[in-house]
Amino acid sequence: MLKRAWKPILGTAVVVGTPTYIYYRYYSTKRQGREIFDIPVRVRGSDGKPTTISHSVNMISKEQLEARLKEHMEAVITPRPNGITWKHTTAYLASNDPIEDANANKIIERDPSEHSPAGDLVFYAVMDGHGGPNTSRLLSKVLLPAVALELHSLINEPASYLPKAGLLQNWKAYIWPTTTVTKHFDADPTYISLAIQTAFANLDSEIINAPLRIIAEELSKPDVSKNTVPDLSQHPMAMATMLPAMSGSCALMALFDTAHDNLYVACTGDCRAVAGVWEESVDGTGSWRTDVLTEDQTGRNPNELARMQSEHPADERDTVIMRGRVLGGLEPTRAFGDARYKWSREIQELLSWVFLKGNNESMRATPALLKTPPYVTPRPVVTHRKLSLHSSSSDPNSPKSKLRFLVLATDGLWDQLSSEEVVSLVGGHLQGLKGIVPKSDLQTLVPTSSGKTVEGKDKRSRNSKKGGSWAFADENLSTHLIRNAFGGGDEVRLRQLLSIPAPYARNYRDDVTCTVVYWEDGQENEAKTTTFSVEQKGTKAKL
């Protein structure tokens, strides 16, 4: 099924290096009635040496700013038969052309059985591509179906996940039989996490091995010489399989299991998931707690550094991660695709010859330090949280702390906003804040406690100011976060940053995709949440 899913998918940046802080050194003038500002751009001169020149940029108008912020946003309300109304907003803003981010969502209704109660599997995912959009676009179509298929196997064929019993265990069971206890594997976070990890790993294996499978199929034909390397550059699946393997993508997926009130967040790469937890006070008021559900998986994460060093020979201890990057090149330590960090040198040379040479294409150079691939894994870290989707607010035993919303975003958002700022901005929006709010006042208006964030990037380039203001001007929560990531109440800064075109924009901001998920279950008044009216969308899929 997965082969058929990815087969239909078909899929040189200009290097201009300037630190983000140079943004503040622009000068703006009016030329022939237009607002124009200059940015420094690194180029190669006629002598081949890098030099810096000024590049003039036309500043977009206020109307163009609003149109650009709202061009790619959606808000969806989905009432479900179990009494829960799911709400989510998604918005994205491109820096690259084309954008390398992607996203997906799905609600799958499960039929009840003797082993599994009725309920929904509610999926949301964001993908952060790099080296091109091909891997992330593919994942947006096949990642959620791949996970759903693996969960289907767990529910209907749980024996495949159980360790094989040895001879001694079988004899003990025969001599001392015990009463069989039915185990709901789909209610066990250990097995669900394993199924998700298996789905991610198997899908990446399909992506990476697809070109090799085409070569094997061609060589198995009776009329093909086994002593020559075939030219398959014109094979109908040549570039369709090579492009998603050569580019790469991080992926972040959230799964809400309403049958068992469980939330699972699976992270491959440096996207981040942050939850807002409403904590009721004894006086009837409350505050928001920041619950960071993922760690940024780069070489700057001590846990990832230790893992990478343990998985490779001792003589590579100082080279598997250099300057916070895999072999000094790739920033995320976990990703789909990125075959140049997973294939051997010989395989890279073979595939380049077979598929790319005839198309006048080439792979990026094999990393010089590559010795014992793979260096990058697709296997996610899965985090579990218990939810309170069906508890009544009148229940005296009902917990006083409830997870009320979840933010999934690519690293372009987290480069600009902290986890705590995002929870405060969403919490304030849900509480009904409007207008311009000084940054120094938000903590008072929306009390928010900090969460532990394992930063995976060098934040010295974060374009932030101690002063400034936040803007509560958007109905769409995701657009609200993107606006505040790039200026908030500073409209001039917003207009500037969104005026810079590709490829220069990448030096000032990354692609951003943001999904905010929240829901109504009869307890939303406890967090003083408000609702909005959008087109309702139903779901058809069943598992």
Model pLDDT for residues 362-381, shown as the tens digit of each residue: 999 999 999 999 999 999 99
Q: What does the pLDDT average to over 307-334?
A: 97
* Percent of the chain at pLDDT exceeding 70: 82
CB 325 within 8 A of CB 458: no
Residue whose structure tokens are 């209907």: 156
With respect to residue 395, please indicate whether it lies within any of the assigned structural domains: yes
Give yes or no for residue 482 having a pLDDT over 50: yes
Q: What does the pLDDT average to over 90-116?
A: 91
Model pLDDT for residues 182-225, shown as the tens digit of each residue: 567 888 999 999 999 999 999 999 999 999 999 999 988 888 77
Quote the distance between the C-alpha of residue 41 and its chain's center: 30
CB 431 within 8 A of CB 528: yes
Query: Residue ranges of the alpha helices (H) in 111-188?
Result: 134-156, 167-175
Instruction: Read off the pTM.
Output: 0.87
Q: What is the pLDDT of residue 224?
A: 77
Average pLDDT of the chain? Answer: 86
With respect to residue 175, please indicate whether it lies within any of the assigned structural domains: no
Instruction: Characterize 85-117 residue by residue with b for buried, 16 or more Cβ atoms within 10 angstroms of its Cβ, and e for exposed.
Output: bbbbbbbbbbbbeebbbbbbbbbbbbeeeeebe
Q: Please, which residues bridge with residue 266 across strands?
A: 253, 382
CATH label of the domain that carries residue 91: 3.60.40.10
With respect to residue 394, please indicate whether it lies within any of the assigned structural domains: yes
With respect to residue 137, please indicate whether it lies within any of the assigned structural domains: yes
Q: Specify the pairing of strand 321-322 against strand 469-472.
A: unpaired
Q: What is the pLDDT of residue 174?
A: 53
Q: What does the pLDDT average to over 352-371?
A: 95
With respect to residue 532, please indicate whether it lies within any of the assigned structural domains: no
With respect to residue 166, please indicate whether it lies within any of the assigned structural domains: no
The domain in which residue 397 lies consists of 2-159+181-527
Kindly state the greatest CA–CA separation across the chain. 94
Model pLDDT for residues 66-86, shown as the tens digit of each residue: 999 999 999 999 999 988 999
Q: What is the pLDDT of residue 400?
A: 79
User: In this predicted model, which residue has the larger pLDDT, 3 or 109?
Assistant: 109
Residue 375 C-beta-side C-alpha neighbours within 13 Å: 31
Q: Please, which residues bridge with residue 56 across strands?
A: 38
Give yes or no for residue 32 having a pLDDT over 70: no
- Number of domains composing the chain: 1
Q: What is the pLDDT of residue 438?
A: 97
Q: What is the pLDDT of residue 392?
A: 52
With respect to residue 167, please indicate whether it lies within any of the assigned structural domains: no
Q: How far apart are the first and last CA of the chain?
A: 15
With respect to residue 202, please indicate whether it lies within any of the assigned structural domains: yes
Q: What does the pLDDT average to over 169-180?
A: 53
Per-residue confidence band for 522, with pLDDT thresholds at 50, 70 and 90: low
Q: How far apart are CA 363 and CA 352, in angstroms?
A: 6
Q: How far apart are CA 127 and CA 214, in angstroms?
A: 27
Q: What is the pLDDT of residue 262?
A: 96
Q: How far apart are CA 527 and CA 448, in angstroms?
A: 13
Q: What does the pLDDT average to over 478-489?
A: 98
CB 244 within 8 A of CB 129: no
Residue whose structure tokens are 């179990």: 82
Model pLDDT for residues 233-290, shown as the tens digit of each residue: 999 999 999 999 999 999 999 999 999 999 999 999 999 999 999 999 877 789 999 9
